[in-house]
Amino acid sequence: MKFQPPKGTRDLLPEDASKLQKIMEICRSVFTKYGFEPLITPAFESFELLSAKGGLGEAVKDEIYYFKDKSDRELGLRFDLTMPLARVVSSTSLPKPFKRYVIDKVWRYDNPQSMRWREFWQADIDVVGSGSLLSDVECLSAICEILDKLGFTDYKIRTNSRKLLQNEFEKIVAKEKILDVFRIIDKLEKIGFDGVGDELKNKGVDPTDVLNILKIGSLDKISDNDGKKELGELFSIAKKFGIEKRLKFDISLVRGLEYYTSVVFEVSLGANVSCGGGGRYDALIEKVGGQSMPATGISLGLDRILEVMKENNMFKTEKTATKVFVANVDENALNDAIKITKTLRENDINSQMDLMGRNFGKQLEYANSLQIPYVLIVGPTEVKKKKFELKDMKTGKQRELSLNQIISIFSKL
């Protein structure tokens, strides 16, 4: 009997897992550079929090892994990394602004499809306590730096304001139906304008004027309102950060979650592959029992970034992080191979040695199969001379070097 991962989940074998970790390392280094601090929260939360009105809402029950524990408490695997943050901030006294990052898994009970899983990794940053759009642009700037470092060149961050749309729709749609309209518009990329029109009709909304608004391509064509003013300020600050060319006004962007209150963002890679999004959620913390407090944030979907980078051959070709394999020519040299491997590791050089009792030839085959770039050959002659053959596995060339020389070479790589 062969067991498979649960539906919507997947195993990442060492090669892909290493690539994902490299993405995480870049995210972490940039977040830290910008002054964001790490926060760790539980993988599951109370259903009461997850379904809070003005947060994810009661309907989230159909979109999460919902369960009861042995004491009949209602729980759910976290849907995103924002609701746990709101809980922490609402119940903890923290200096403001509170800038935090999280790189962790979230779970959604979606229908699995291309680049969509039920379990996936997010890299999330948020600024709590600041109502300034400078906070939003700081988050966007950090995301741009991450994507630049990863090697992306043609990404865009679609940008809009729910205040702007609210103002436009209040002229043509009954106020109590605007949230329904937002939810329908959020499906635009999946179902197209015709699908949006059909769903609007089913909700008793005339689609004509709504669809005309969604086709407006320039902010200049929007009548003056708070949302337009807010976006103008956002773009102005973005210019000072040098990222204004990455931002693209898109009036159809609403983001489906109820807690967004004004500016919203969505990150697109090349051929309209969305890999993240966020926005301002100034009412959420109060909705979950805290003080009234502004907040903003943005999250990247790391699994999608990984897949796009693989498809476009954006990773270096190394299959392993190991730099050198210490090969003993026979059993008599094993103890010396252990000592040398230990010394290399003490000098922070990623090293492996034979654990299978293989002969010398098989050790070389194994090192080659993992694409380890160098093999250090240890035998009685080498130990006696205190000089070891360092073989470049790509070129086949060998050099006779002392251990100190070898350490020096790898320390500079």
Residue 383: give its domain's CATH number: 3.40.50.800
pLDDT tens-digit series, residues 155-207: 999 999 999 988 888 888 888 888 888 889 988 888 989 999 999 999 888 88
Domain check: are 352 and 304 in the same one? no
CA–CA gap between residue 266 and residue 275 (Å, rounded): 8
Percent of the chain with pLDDT over 70: 100
Domain check: are 400 and 297 in the same one? no
Helices (H) and strands (E) in the chain, counts: 15, 16
CA–CA gap between residue 263 and residue 123 (Å, rounded): 20
Q: Which of 311, 344, 371 represents a domain boundary (last residue)?
A: 311
The answer as to whether 1 is a domain residue is no
Domain check: are 125 and 216 in the same one? yes
In the predicted model, what is the mean pLDDT of the chain? 94
Domain check: are 288 and 154 in the same one? yes
**Closest by alpha carbon to 134, among 327, 296, 13, 320?**
296
Domain check: are 31 and 161 in the same one? yes
Domain check: are 39 and 122 in the same one? yes
412 confidence band (pLDDT: 50, 70, 90): confident
- List the beta strands (DSSP E) in 333-410: 351-353, 374-378, 388-392, 398-401
CA–CA gap between residue 327 and residue 375 (Å, rounded): 7
380 confidence band (pLDDT: 50, 70, 90): very high
Query: For 278-306, what is the mean pLDDT?
Result: 97
The answer as to whether 6 is a domain residue is no
89 confidence band (pLDDT: 50, 70, 90): very high
- State the amino acid at position 247 in one-letter form: L
319 confidence band (pLDDT: 50, 70, 90): confident
Predicted pLDDT at 282: 97
Distance in angstroms between the alpha carbons of the first and the last residue of the chain = 46
Predicted pLDDT at 173: 85
Domain check: are 102 and 231 in the same one? yes
Q: Which of 254, 280, 311 represents a domain boundary (last residue)?
A: 311
DSSP 397: -
Q: Is 296 left (phi over 0), alpha (psi -120 to 50) or beta?
A: beta
Predicted pLDDT at 177: 87
292-317 as b/e: b if 16+ CB within 10 A:
ebbbbbbbbbbbbbbbbbeeeeebee
Q: State yes or no: cis peptide before 95, omega within 30 of 0.
A: no
Domain count, the chain: 2
Helix, strand, coil percent content, the chain, rounded in steps of 5: 45, 20, 35
The answer as to whether 163 is a domain residue is yes
The answer as to whether 158 is a domain residue is yes
368 confidence band (pLDDT: 50, 70, 90): very high
Domain check: are 297 and 329 in the same one? no
pLDDT above 80 (res 42): yes
CA–CA gap between residue 304 and residue 287 (Å, rounded): 31
Domain check: are 227 and 339 in the same one? no
Segments forming the whole domain that contains residue 70: 14-311
Domain check: are 274 and 219 in the same one? yes
Domain check: are 258 and 334 in the same one? no
Please indicate whether residue 127 or residue 212 has the higher confidence score (pLDDT).
127
Q: 34 near 146, Cβ under 8 Å?
A: no
Q: Is 375 left (phi over 0), alpha (psi -120 to 50) or beta?
A: beta
Please indicate whether residue 170 or residue 82 has the higher confidence score (pLDDT).
82
pLDDT above 80 (res 318): no
- List the beta strands (DSSP E) in 25-94: 37-38, 44-46, 66-68, 74-77
Q: Which of 267, 284, 311 represents a domain boundary (last residue)?
A: 311
pLDDT above 80 (res 3): yes
Residue 186: give its domain's CATH number: 3.30.930.10
pTM: 0.90
Predicted pLDDT at 1: 84
Domain check: are 163 and 254 in the same one? yes
pLDDT tens-digit series, residues 46-67: 999 999 998 998 889 999 999 9
The answer as to whether 244 is a domain residue is yes
